[in-house]
Amino acid sequence: MRILLTIPLALAMLVAPAQWWELAEQRSDALTFHRVIYLSDGRMAYAAEGNMLSVRNADASVDWEIGDSYMTGQGGGDMIAMPDGELIQVGIADYCDVLGPGRIRRFDALGNVLWEHELAPTGQEGWEDFFLLAKGLYGGSGGPLAVASLKAVRILDGWDGQQIGQFTLGDESNIKKLHWASDSTLFVADGTDLKLVGLNGMVLSDTPIGEGVLDLQMEGTQLFALVGDTIRRFGPALELNGTTIVSGAGTNSSFVWTSSGLYVQTAYGLYHLDAGGTATLLFPWPSVPAYTHTGCVIGDGAVHEVGYTNISGRYTGVFRKLSLDGDAAVHHQDVEILVEVDSAWAVPSGSGDIWWDAKADVTAHVVNHGPDTLRSVLVTLHGVWFNMTCLSLQHRLDPTDLAVAPGDTVTLPFGVVHTAKDTPLSEILSTYGQVCITALAPDAVADRDPSDNHVCVPVDFIPLGVDGPEARDPLLLTPNPADRRVTVGGAGTLGASIQLRILDSTGRVALERTVTSPGDPVILDVSSLPPGSYNLEAMGSRARSTARLMVVRP
């Protein structure tokens, strides 16, 4: 069978100052950037889902990066910059959606691990507890570090990471944020309270702050707290100095501190805060379709922003460099994806009679409708693994040496691929009886019109194998050609329950019926079908059979 679907697209050109750039990446099934911090000399550290930590140079080229089982910036974990371009990272183990103990590491400027320690839970902490670092450091590169889980705060020696102190704040503790107040005290957002705490755990003062504390940041002698869409300013003893509403603040909002002032980044845009807490919008984030902003940092006279796009459940990380006025590189990349399925079948998986594997011979086509040559594009085909919720079959084509002229099409054959593994045959024939392909990140930027980047086509997976239904002689159809009704003979030999499907010339199901007494004559009403040629398929527990049906009108 051959199925070819078309959907329109367009391509991209770069028409902006060369110093501003954008990059889109998807190295795993879902890659989303969550954090970015400034290190030194134009270098940035990015934390991404997929447990990746990537340090980039000023031109976005990779300086060094790691990927392992420890996640940072996805509801837990944290990272802070150290002097001389070094980095401290806290992450929590993520083993196929099962969270484990945390780990803290210190990297030198070249990415070498200077020391690392596991942060196992203590007391009433659970394995699912996250760990976060306190903002601010004292005593230079070897000063103390404060690390918190939901229940406990630990004080570590910055030189070697060894624990030098620990305290808890009670059985009901629910620590959300930390910030150094001095070299011997910490601000702690604990549940609905804000507390000033000594390193011995003594609470020196506290005040109600409410739910939803997003961030804490010192500026001069004031502590700024971002709580939902409200900024609250506190003095050194936690006396309230004022409040300000920031439109658009939410889950991904946080403070952005620079030596020249304090800012707030929200899903909408970047705001500047003055000493009185007034928030002034500098600029909204430049628009990208299907985009979610997650963070930014200011350094070397530019704004470095991170986020991700979502195209039919495929998440692609995006990071870009903007001017301090919000100017961004202008792109027009837009690709169209088409899919062609030459054949599709199902075979027993070897895990018993219940489980089957679905396979298909698939080819993707990418069309360039833009004004410039298309150089690269990522194309993915995603299947299912019925018994393993943490695994997803994934087939990727990522050619980076293309030269597709405007208006031309590039053909990218996947070949024979699995679309489902260890799946009930009934699911393969119905729920998973399709092939879906997504095109992402043309020329390594976000697609500017993703409406045609994803396509699914229904596919008839023919069961094969000695343990599955065997092919039998064609069914007897009378009359054939048929006008209003057709009688199906021979279905009784296929099994106790039969699924009948009439498919049109494109492979679409035009009529479907389940027969539980196939020994009786089976009469199908085809009066609603347009005249033409159809395939009638009958699938039973013991065998399958097909026949060609012609529908005519007087």
Residue 533's nearest CA partner among 515, 512, 513, 510 is: 510
Q: Classify residue 550 by burial, with Cβ atoms within 10 Å: 0-12, 13-18, 19+.
A: middle
**What does the pLDDT average to over 503-523?**
76
Q: Classify residue 294 by burial, with Cβ atoms within 10 Å: 0-12, 13-18, 19+.
A: buried
pLDDT at residue 316, as a whole number: 93
pLDDT at residue 388, as a whole number: 59
pLDDT per residue over 102-118, tens digit each? 889 999 999 999 999 98
Q: Quick one: tokens of 384? A: 């299912």
pLDDT at residue 3, as a whole number: 37
> Using CA atoms, how far apart are residues 488 and 478, in angstroms rounded to an integer?
7
Residue 270's nearest CA partner among 291, 288, 300, 249 is: 249
Rounded to a whole number, what is the largest CA-CA distance in the chain?
A: 94
**What does the pLDDT average to over 456-470?**
70
pLDDT at residue 259, as a whole number: 84
Omega prior to 481 cis, within 30 of 0? yes
Q: Where in the chain is the domain with CATH 2.60.40.3080?
A: 470-551
> Using CA atoms, how far apart are residues 70 and 53, in angstroms rounded to an integer?
10
> Contact 457/498 with Cβ under 8 angstroms?
no
C-alpha to C-alpha distances, 174 to 2, 226, 258, nearest whole angstrom? 58, 17, 29
pLDDT at 208 over 70: yes
Above pLDDT 70, what percent of the chain?
86
Is the model more confident about 61 or about 431? 61
Q: Where in the chain is the domain with CATH 2.60.40.10?
A: 335-463
Residue holding tokens 């909408």? 268
pLDDT at 35 over 80: yes
pLDDT at residue 496, as a whole number: 67
Residue 426's nearest CA partner among 469, 456, 479 is: 469
Is the model more confident about 275 or about 320? 320
Which of 12-16, 355-359, 524-528 is predicted with the least confidence, judged by mean pLDDT?
A: 12-16
Query: Which residue pairs from 239-248 have beta carbons closer than 8 angstroms and sit at least 24 positions apart in sequence?
Result: 240/207, 241/277, 242/276, 242/277, 243/277, 244/273, 244/277, 244/278, 244/279, 246/271, 246/279
Contact partners, residue 231, CB within 8 Å, separation at least 6? 224, 225, 243, 244, 245, 246, 264, 273, 277, 279
pLDDT per residue over 226-280, tens digit each? 998 899 999 989 999 999 998 878 888 999 998 888 999 999 999 999 888 889 9
Residue by residue, DSSP assigns 460-516 as: --EE-STTSPEE-SPPEEESSSBSSEEEEESGGGS-SSEEEEEE-TTS-EEEEEEES
Residue 369's nearest CA partner among 289, 452, 454 is: 452
pLDDT at residue 231, as a whole number: 93
Backbone φ and ψ for 99, nearest 5 degrees, come out as -85, 140
pLDDT at residue 74, as a whole number: 66
pLDDT at residue 273, as a whole number: 92
C-alpha to C-alpha distances, 406 to 310, 371, 455, nearest whole angstrom? 25, 5, 22
Task: Give the DSSP H or E segment for 189.
Answer: strand 185-190
Cβ neighbour number for residue 120 with a 10 Å cutoff:
12
Contact partners, residue 282, CB within 8 Å, separation at least 6? 263, 269, 270, 271, 272, 324, 325, 326
Distance of CA 493 to the CA centre of its chain: 49
Listed in order, strand segments (DSSP E) in 323-392 are 335-348, 355-368, 378-382, 384-385
**What does the pLDDT average to over 492-501?**
75
How is domain 470-551 classified at the architecture level of CATH? Answer: Sandwich (2.60)
pLDDT at 390 over 70: no
Q: Which CATH number fits domain 335-463: 1.20.960.40, 3.30.565.10, 2.60.40.10, 2.40.340.10?
A: 2.60.40.10
pLDDT at 8 over 50: no
> Using CA atoms, how far apart are residues 48 and 38, in angstroms rounded to an integer?
15
Amino acid at site 492: G
> Contact 325/468 with Cβ under 8 angstroms?
no
Per-residue confidence band for 506, with pLDDT thresholds at 50, 70 and 90: low
Strand order of the β-sheet with 132-133 is 132-133, 144-148, 152-157, 163-168
pLDDT at residue 141, as a whole number: 56
Q: Where in the chain is the domain with CATH 2.130.10.10?
A: 31-296
Which of 160-169, 172-181, 385-394, 468-477 is predicted with the least confidence, judged by mean pLDDT?
A: 468-477
Domain at 31-296, CATH homologous superfamily = YVTN repeat-like/Quinoprotein amine dehydrogenase (2.130.10.10)
Residue 188's nearest CA partner among 221, 155, 148 is: 148
Per-residue confidence band for 139, with pLDDT thresholds at 50, 70 and 90: very low
DSSP lists the bridge partners of residue 6 as: none
pLDDT at residue 124, as a whole number: 47
> Using CA atoms, how far apart are residues 230 and 208, in angstroms rounded to an integer?
14
485-489 vs 522-525, strand pairing mode: antiparallel
Q: What is the pTM of this model?
A: 0.77
The number of residues making up the chain comes to 554
pLDDT at residue 193, as a whole number: 95
